[in-house]
A and B are shown apart, each in its own frame.
Chain A
Amino acid sequence: MTRLSRLVALILLAMSAGCGKPDFSDSDKRTIASLALNTLPALKPDTTNRFADVPAAAALGSTLFFDQGMSGDGTVSCSTCHKIDRQFQDDLPQAVGVGRTNRRTMALAGVARDPWFFWDGRRDSLWAQALAPLENPLEQAGNRTAFARYIKARFGERYERIFGPLPDFAGLPLNASPLGTDAEKAAWNSMSDAQRDAINSVFANIGKAIAAFERSIEPAQTRFDRFALDLATGAEPKGDAIFSEQEILGLKLFIGKGNCVTCHSGPRFTDNSFHNTGVPPAAGLPPDRGRIDAVAQVLGDPFNCFGAFRDGDAGACGELRFMVKDSPELIRAYKTPSLRGAATRPPYMHAGQFSSLDEVVGHYAKASPSVEGASELHPLDLSDRERAALVAFLQTLSQ
C-alpha cells in the first residue's frame, strides 16, 4: 500500500500545484482586460466641430488655452485651473479663477471622449464647455463681444486663416453679453440679430479651437495597464508590471466585492454617467443639486447640439435628444470621474470634500444616505486591510 499512498500523494500534489499564485477567474480576466488602456478606441471625429482635427485650429486653441488675455481682468486663462504639469487640474477643493467657484477643477485626460461636460453635465460638447468659464464671473469673467475684439486685435490673421473673415466691429459695443452685468446685457440687447449672430459665431469658434487643442490630451499608460496586458497575453510580468499581493487584493476588491467597477468601467474607469453616491455638501457653498439642475442649463444653451452653431447634422445630437430630463435619480447626481491619475490629485469629489483616497474608500464602505435624493450605494464590509489594498490598487493607476 505504500506505493498506492505515494501515488495518491503525487496526484494530490500535481493537482494543487496550480493553486500557488493568486489566480483570476476567466470572468475577472475579461473585466481586467476591459479596463486596460490598450482597449481605448481611437478618438472619434466630432462632427459638430468641423475644426476639431484641423491642426491650425488646435494650435490657436493651445495659444488661447494658456493666454491670460482671455479673461475680463487679464489674469486668468483656462490653464490657471487646468494646469499642464498637474494633469490639467489645480489640487484645490474648489477652483479659483477671478473668484472662488463652487466646484473642483476636473482633470482633462481623455476629456474629448466625454458625452457630457462639467461635474453635472451642463454642456454637451467640448467646444460648448470651453465657452462657459470665459463668461462665468467667478472664472474668466469676460464677455463675448470683448473676446471677439481681443481675437481680432491679437490673433486676427491666424483666426481668419482658419475660420474665415471676422465681422466688422464698427458700431459694436465694447462689452456685451446675454450673460453679463446689467450694462452688458443692455448692450447685447441693443445689437441687431445679425450683429449678435456674428459675435456668437466668433465666440463659438473660440470654443472650437480650444476643443481642437484639448482633443490631444489623452491618458498615459500606467503600471496597471502593463500588468493587465501581461495578464491578458499570459506573459510573465516583469519590473513594475509585477503587482504586490496587496495590489492584487485591491484589484480583486475593485472588480468584485467593492463594486467599484460597476461605475468606474472601461479603459477610462468611468461609465460617463451621473450618480448620487451620497457625497455630503461642502461647507459654506451655495446649494448644489447636481445633474437635476443641469438639465435646463444644457437645454437652454444656444451653443448646444441643437443650436445654430453646430457643424454637421443633428444625427450627432443623440445624447441631448435622449437625455433623461426629470428623474429623481438626477438629484445630487454627479459625473463618474475617471480614476486614471486620481491617486496623485487629491482632494476628491465635486467640491473637494475628501482629502485622501482612504477617506473616499471609507465613504463608499459606509454608504451614508444622501442629504437630498437617494444614494445608489450599499454599505460594504471592508476590513482595514481591504481598504488599504483598494488604495494601493488605485495608486497603480498613477504610476
Chain B
Amino acid sequence: MASLWRYILAGLGLAALLAGILAVVYLTAPRSPQSAGPDVSRTKQTDNGLFVASLEPERGVVRQGELQSWRLTLKTKAGAPVEGAAIAISGGMPQHNHGLPTSPQASDYLGDGRYRIEGLKFTMSGWWQLHFAISATAGSDTVLFNVVL
C-alpha cells in the first residue's frame, strides 16, 4: 500500500510541475496581437453619438496590396438611414507614422444609408486606422475604425 501512495504522490507532484511549467510558458509568451490590439469592431457609434456607422469590405474579405471598395453604412440612433452625407476619409498606420497610401473617396450612394468608399489600399500588414468625417443634415461627426491585417 505504501508504494501505491508513493505513486499517487508522484503523480500529483508531476501534475503540479506540469501546471507550473505551463503557467510560466503561458504568462511569459508574447500576447497575440488580437488580444492586445485595438478595437476592431465594424459597427460603432460616432464620436459625438450622432450616427451609428458600420464599415465592411464590399467583397467580404480584406486583401493586402490591392485597391478595394468598402461600404460605410450610416444610420441615426433611431435606425433611420442617413442620406446625402458628405464624407471625408483619412487614416494611416499609427505605429509607422504614415498616412494612407491612397486617397480613398466616398464615390457613390447606394441607398439605405450605404455609401461606397472607393480606392482603399492596405499596402502592409499591421494596424491601420480609418477616420471618417461625416457631415449630414443632422450635423457633423467623426468615427474611427481600426483594421488589423
Contact = CB atoms under 8 A, between A and B. Distances in A.
Nearest to A318: B67
Interface in B107-128: 118-119, 121, 123-126
Contacts of A275: 98
A370 B12 CA distance: 62
B14 A7 contact: yes
B105 interface: yes
A318 B98 contact: no
A314 to B, nearest CB: 13
Contacts of B14: 7-8, 11
A44 B140 CA distance: 41
Contact of A322 (B10, B98, B104, B123): B104
Interface in A317-334: 318-319, 321-325, 327, 329
Nearest to A3: B10
A4 B13 CA distance: 10
A275 B17 CA distance: 51
Q: Which of A263, A322, A323, A376 has the largest count of B CB atoms less than 10 A from its CB?
A: A322
Interface in B10-42: 10, 13-14, 17, 21, 32
A327 B91 CA distance: 12
Contact of A376 (B32, B65, B96): B96
A324 B99 contact: yes
B62 interface: no
Contacts of A319: 67, 102
Interface residues of A, number: 27
A265 interface: yes
Nearest to B121: A322
A266 interface: yes
Contacts of B103: 322-325
Contact of B102 (A8, A265, A323, A374): A323
Contacts of B118: 318, 322
A278 B49 CA distance: 42
A221 interface: no
B21 A7 contact: no
A263 B96 CA distance: 11
A353 B22 CA distance: 51
A322 B99 contact: no
Given A7-B10, A265-B125, A324-B103, A15 B21 contact: yes
A327 B126 contact: no
Contacts of B43: none
A272 B65 contact: yes
Interface in A349-378: 374, 376
B100 interface: yes
Q: Which of B21, B65, B118 has the largest count of A CB atoms less than 10 A from its CB?
A: B65
Given A266-B64, A319-B67, A376 B119 contact: no
B126 A266 contact: no
Interface string A268-303: 000111110000000000000000000000000000
A324 B17 contact: no
Given A321-B119, A322-B104, A329-B98, A262 B126 contact: yes
B119 A271 contact: no
Given A271-B65, A271-B101, A322-B105, 7 more contacts: A4-B6, A7-B14, A27-B32, A273-B123, A322-B119, A324-B99, A324-B103
Q: Which 4 A-B pairs have the closest CB atoms?
A: A322-B119, A271-B123, A322-B102, A318-B67
22 contacts: A8-B17, A15-B21, A27-B32, A262-B96, A262-B124, A262-B126, A265-B64, A265-B123, A271-B101, A273-B101, A273-B123, A318-B119, A319-B102, A321-B119, A322-B103, A322-B119, A323-B102, A323-B103, A324-B101, A324-B103, A329-B99, A376-B98
